[in-house]
Structures are given as C-alpha cells and as structure tokens.
Amino acid sequence: MTGIATTIITTITPMLMTTSEPVPPDARSEMTADEGAALYRLMTWLSPAFPVGAFSYSSGIEWAVEAGDITDAASLRDWLAAMLADGSGFCDGVFLAQTHRAASSNDNAGLREIADLAAAFVPSRERQLETSTQGRAFIDIARAAWTCDGLDALIAACDGPLVYPVAVGIVSAAHNIPLAPAMHGFLHAVVSNWISAGARLVPLGQTDSQRILAALEPVVVATAARALRASPDDLGSATFRADLAGLRHETQYTRLFRS
C-alpha cells in the first residue's frame, strides 16, 4: 500500500502545482459561454452538412458550363466573383442584413416587407425554387432542433415564403447572433456551395476548389461590408449573363442540378 500511495502522490503533485502558474495570454481572450454558443450554432447552420439541400442547386452554373462560359478554375473564379459582388450574393446579403435588423428590433411590419421584397426579387422560377426550398428547410430544422423564445413569433410575422437569406436572418436574430459574423458565415456558405457545384461540373480537383475559395476571400469580405452598409434602395444586379443562365437552365436537355 505504501508503494501505491507514493506513486499516486508523485503523479498528482505536479498537476496540483500547475494551478499556481500564470494564466497563459491566449486563455485571457477566451469566448464567453454566449459567444461560444453563438459561434457553435452559426458554424452548424452554415455548414455544408446542414440539411437544407444546397448540394442540389447550381444557381445556373450548370448551364454556364455547358455554354462554355465556365471551362476551368480561372473562369469559374471570375464568374463567381461577379455573382458575389454584383449579383445575387450582394442582394442576398442586403436581405439578410435588413431581416436581421427588423427581427432584432421586433419590427414585424418591416420584417414582413423585406421578406416579401426578397421573395419577389428572385429573377427566375428555378432560383425561386432554390432559395425558397432552402429557406423553408432552414426554418423547419431550426424550429425542430434549435428553437428559442421569439422564433415562432418572428416566423409568424411573415405571411409569405421565406427565402434563404431571410430565413438565416430571422433565426440568427432570434438566437442573438451578431449580424456581422452571420453575414460573413452566410456568404462563405453560398460561395462554398457554388464552388462545389462548379467543381463537379467542370470538373475540378479539391486543390483548385480551395484555391478559388481562397481567391474569393477578399470579395466575400468586401461584399459583406457593402451589404452591411446598404439599404433596400441599393439593391440591384448587373450579372445579366448569370441571370440568363438561371433561365436557360430550366430548359436544359440534360442536367445534374435543380437550378
């Protein structure tokens, strides 16, 4: 018994001594419990594994590949940069920001107005199917697994379809997730899905896909900043070819994606 006791004391003593050591500098900047929970939820909701069906849609990229507009990593990068900065990416960012602010301030009339505008702003039937289906799935899963006080009331304030950026704005606001990280997480998720679709269609390897994602980082950051500053009067798209791709995809003879 004496030998066992000596072994235990020898093992535990160094562990006890560490409690008096200085706190490491990085430990002082640790997140609060609320901040950690917010980050955990945001990463979960905007992960490719979150079941909103995003993998089924290409946002018209499938037609652009067939038409020869996208043929390699460089052309895919340029196409997505335009969609993000001057097309649906920026517009969806504005809708997310306006939704989040209205929901956070319990402005039900403003929330309903921006939700209706976002649904009406979609340029094609297939894009409408894409964003409304993802929005509905996002809301349904959030209510089933991540419900919180006030979420049902915010959803009920909108009497029409909830497109994807509006759904993300409502749920993020209900869970008190700050707007800026929600915006960046959303745009990153959208771009990642576009790249995934393009990689399967061109096709591209995993390394090229990551190179495109890295190259689009400053575009995501700049677009998020613009969307946070923008008002509904700033909404607008200049990506006519991408909008046409969404329309042409509806009658594409063979296809892998639903948009």
pLDDT digits (tens, 9 = 90+) for 115-146: 999 999 998 888 999 999 999 999 999 999 99
What CA–CA distance (Å, rounded) separates 42 from 67?
A: 36
Closest CA to 90 of 255, 220, 240: 220
What CA–CA distance (Å, rounded) separates 98 from 85?
A: 18
Peptide bond into 181 cis (omega under 30): no
What CA–CA distance (Å, rounded) separates 202 from 204?
A: 6
What CA–CA distance (Å, rounded) separates 54 from 257?
A: 10
What average pLDDT values come out for the chain (259 residues) when binned by 10 residues?
46 46 64 92 94 93 96 98 97 98 97 97 91 97 94 94 97 97 98 97 97 98 98 95 92 89
Residue 254, Cβ density class (10 Å: 0-12 exposed, 13-18 middle, ≥19 buried) = exposed
In this prediction, residue 25 carries a pLDDT of 62
What CA–CA distance (Å, rounded) separates 21 from 192?
A: 43
The residue to which tokens 């304030």 are assigned: 157
What CA–CA distance (Å, rounded) separates 56 from 153?
A: 30
Chain-centre distance for alpha carbon 74 = 23
- The residue extents of the domains of the chain are 56-249
In this prediction, residue 7 carries a pLDDT of 46
The residue to which tokens 């991408």 are assigned: 242
- Rounded to two decimals, what is the model's pTM? 0.89
What CA–CA distance (Å, rounded) separates 67 from 61?
A: 10
Dihedral sign, Cα of residue 209, residue 194, residue 184, residue 224: positive
Span 56-249 CATH architecture = Orthogonal Bundle (1.10)
In this prediction, residue 11 carries a pLDDT of 45
CB 70 within 8 A of CB 76: yes
